């Protein structure tokens, strides 16, 4: 019974951290947003070129936060999986005014009793019926940038 309660508590804490992380972005609270991440965190954005460590991501994001308008992703479904009592990974479906339906996945680790986001991957799910068309569009776009 104690293990079930611990697992449930950890999942609740993970959900609270990820929810507040999204809320901090929507409120343009840069310190709170990045405070939820480890110093070695990795953020993968929707563009294939977007792989940032925590420092690079903060440099990229700072102008958005400084304007008082970062981004808003509203979670509508999340699945959390625990590995022991100090590692969790999750996937989530989010709503975004800019991108519509998006998906995120990530890993959190418990450090000094606090859950921190160590890795996050934001994607735009492409329906299978559109995949070939989108892949062709990406190929054409890359070809225009080729040296």
Tokens of 74: 């509203």
**At residue 3, does pLDDT exceed 70?**
no
Taking Cα atoms as reference points, which of 34, 29, 56, 36 lies closest to residue 44? Answer: 56
3-class DSSP state of 125: coil
Give pLDDT tens digits for 47-76.
999 999 999 999 999 999 999 989 999 999
Enter the pTM of the model: 0.89
- Quote the CA–CA distance of 40 and 91 in Å, as a whole number: 20
Kindly list the structural domains of the chain, giving each domain's residue range(s) and its CATH number in brackets, ordered by start. Answer: 2-142 (3.10.450.50)
Q: Residue with structure tokens 């940032």?
A: 52
- Quote the CA–CA distance of 32 and 20 in Å, as a whole number: 8
């Amino acid at each position: 019974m104690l293990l079930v309660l611990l697992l449930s508590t950890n999942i609740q804490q993970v959900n609270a951290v990820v929810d507040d992380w999204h809320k901090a972005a929507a409120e343009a609270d840069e310190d709170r947003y990045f405070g939820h991440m480890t110093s070695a965190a990795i953020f993968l954005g929707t563009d294939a070129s977007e792989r940032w460590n925590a420092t690079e991501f903060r440099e990229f994001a700072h102008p958005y936060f400084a304007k008082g308008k970062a981004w808003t992703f509203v979670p509508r479904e999340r699945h959390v999986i625990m590995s022991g009592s100090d590692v969790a990974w999750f996937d989530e479906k989010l709503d975004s005014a800019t991108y519509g339906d998006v998906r995120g996945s990530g890993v959190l680790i418990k450090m000094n009793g606090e859950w921190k986001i160590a890795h996050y991957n934001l994607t735009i799910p492409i329906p299978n019926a559109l995949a070939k068309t989108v892949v062709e569009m990406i190929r054409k776009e890359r070809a225009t940038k080729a040296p």
